């Protein structure tokens, strides 16, 4: 049983040549021990006990000492739509790097099977994905505030449920960045235009069936010339930006008991796409910040992880600026 904690504060050298205050803690209490009694029978007695408790430092300064380039992130709010194999690990990276606020939108529950490529394991099965990630971040990275949002973009609006625009207000008001990890082209289209209408930087990320390739793209207002729809035209018309390679034969499967098709692909392949998207996000959020993370001179990155015959290649990224496409109806409507 804990009786008391004694704290001792003393001057010490906390960095070469820099004096500060150090702490040492003594924890005093009792522990139960079984000893041999007078008639040879074991009896339980409370023994006084005192031990040394190691003091550890935790503050924003201590965290930023190791990654000084992310110092502006605690003032940023990132909205993430889609907490699957790409969006969920991105959210954890943002929290690990001291992003101030996260708004996390997803409509799905954690299933045991997909945990092979999800950042949290089967202990979270049955929870809403947004709630599971919220709980984990609150416990492990409490400097990041998380707002979980249970919502399916474009889904049926139930009785008493907020409208699409009300959800977008909750998600995006004063947001610094919108991440689209929905893996749904229709949702990506809607989110890209919503971000543009609100003047919010937008990043979309997806991986291809088989985990053979992927793409990250961004639209930074005032920096990127084209838009998400321009990118679709650049890819669909065989233009300057290639469609990421995918496994055409075995890249999609239907799991037993699941009504939707899903894609195959390993976590360690998908992480290539996740980390590129996080780098692009942190770079975009650090734009113009003195001492911030490096700037990114491109808007679209396409990665190839496999050859067309399925043999493994070292991750090869091709990067492109996102120019206005002459057929884009959004960029030529004036
Ligand atoms: Zn456009």
CA of residue 213 to ligand 1 center, whole Å:
24
| Sign of the CA dihedral with 78 first, then 89, 317, and 208 last | negative
Packing angle between helix 87-96 and helix 129-140, nearest 10 degrees? Answer: 20
CA of residue 231 to ligand 1 center, whole Å:
7
CA of residue 276 to ligand 1 center, whole Å:
23
CA of residue 34 to ligand 1 center, whole Å:
76
CA of residue 171 to ligand 1 center, whole Å:
24
Cβ pair 197, 189 in contact under 8 A: no
CA of residue 324 to ligand 1 center, whole Å:
5
Can you spell out the DSSP letters for 231-287? Answer: HHHHHHTT-SSPPPP--TTTSEE--TT-SS-EE---HHHHHHHHHHHHHHHHHHHTT
The residues with which 219 forms a beta bridge, in sequence order, are: 202
CA of residue 249 to ligand 1 center, whole Å:
32
CA of residue 107 to ligand 1 center, whole Å:
29
And the tokens for 110? 């954690």
Which domains, ranges and CATH numbers included, belong to the chain?
A: 2-56 (no CATH), 61-320 (3.40.50.720)
Instruction: Locate all alpha helices (DSSP H) within 141-227, ordered by sequence.
Output: 164-172, 185-198
CA quadruple 268, 274, 280, 285: dihedral, nearest 10: -130
Ion ligand 1: residue ranges with CB closer than 5 A: 227, 229-230, 328, 330-331
Burial label for 203, CB within 10 Å (0-12, 13-18, 19+), is buried
Tokens 């408790």 map to which residue? 53
CA of residue 323 to ligand 1 center, whole Å:
8
Instruction: Locate all alpha helices (DSSP H) within the chain, ordered by sequence.
Output: 60-66, 87-96, 129-140, 164-172, 185-198, 228-236, 267-285
Cβ pair 226, 324 in contact under 8 A: yes
CA of residue 230 to ligand 1 center, whole Å:
4
In order along its 334 residues, the chain shows pLDDT tens digits of 888 999 999 999 988 999 989 899 999 999 888 888 888 888 888 889 898 988 888 887 887 888 888 889 999 999 999 999 999 999 999 999 999 999 999 999 999 999 999 999 999 999 999 999 999 999 999 999 999 999 999 888 888 889 999 999 999 999 999 999 999 999 999 999 999 999 999 999 999 999 999 999 999 999 999 999 999 999 997 778 999 999 888 766 766 666 666 778 899 999 999 999 999 999 999 998 999 999 999 999 999 999 999 899 999 999 999 999 999 999 986 5
């Amino acid at each position: 049983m804990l009786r008391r904690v004694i704290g001792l504060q003393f001057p010490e050298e906390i960095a070469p040549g820099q004096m500060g205050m150090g702490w040492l803690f003594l924890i005093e209490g009792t522990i139960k021990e079984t000893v041999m009694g007078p008639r040879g029978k074991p009896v339980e007695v409370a023994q006084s006990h005192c031990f040394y408790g190691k003091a550890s430092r935790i503050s924003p300064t201590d965290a930023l000492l190791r990654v000084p380039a992310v110092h502006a992130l605690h003032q940023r709010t990132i909205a993430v739509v889609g907490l699957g194999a790409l969006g969920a690990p991105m959210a954890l990276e943002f929290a690990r790097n001291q992003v101030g606020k996260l708004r996390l939108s997803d409509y799905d529950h954690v299933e045991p099977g997909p945990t092979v490529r999800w950042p949290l394991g089967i202990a979270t099965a049955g929870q809403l994905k947004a709630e599971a990630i919220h709980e984990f971040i609150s416990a492990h990275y409490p400097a990041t505030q998380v707002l979980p949002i249970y919502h399916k973009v474009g889904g049926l609006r139930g009785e008493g449920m907020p409208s699409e625009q009300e959800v977008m207000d909750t998600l995006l008001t004063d947001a610094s960045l919108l991440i689209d990890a929905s893996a749904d082209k229709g949702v990506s289209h809607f989110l890209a235009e919503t971000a543009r209408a609100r003047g919010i930087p937008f990043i979309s990320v997806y991986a291809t069936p088989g985990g053979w390739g992927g793409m990250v793209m961004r639209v930074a207002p005032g920096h990127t010339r084209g838009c998400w729809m321009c990118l679709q035209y650049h890819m669909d018309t065989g233009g300057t930006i290639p469609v990421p390679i995918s496994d055409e034969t075995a890249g999609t499967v239907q799991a037993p008991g699941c009504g939707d098709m899903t894609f195959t692909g390993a976590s360690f392949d998908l992480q290539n796409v996740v980390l590129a998207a996080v780098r692009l996000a942190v770079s975009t959020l650090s734009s113009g910040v003195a001492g911030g993370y490096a700037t990114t001179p491109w808007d679209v990155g396409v990665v190839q992880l496999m050859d067309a015959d399925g043999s493994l290649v070292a991750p090869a990224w091709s990067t492109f600026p996102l120019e206005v496409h002459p057929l884009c109806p959004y960029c030529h409507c004036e």
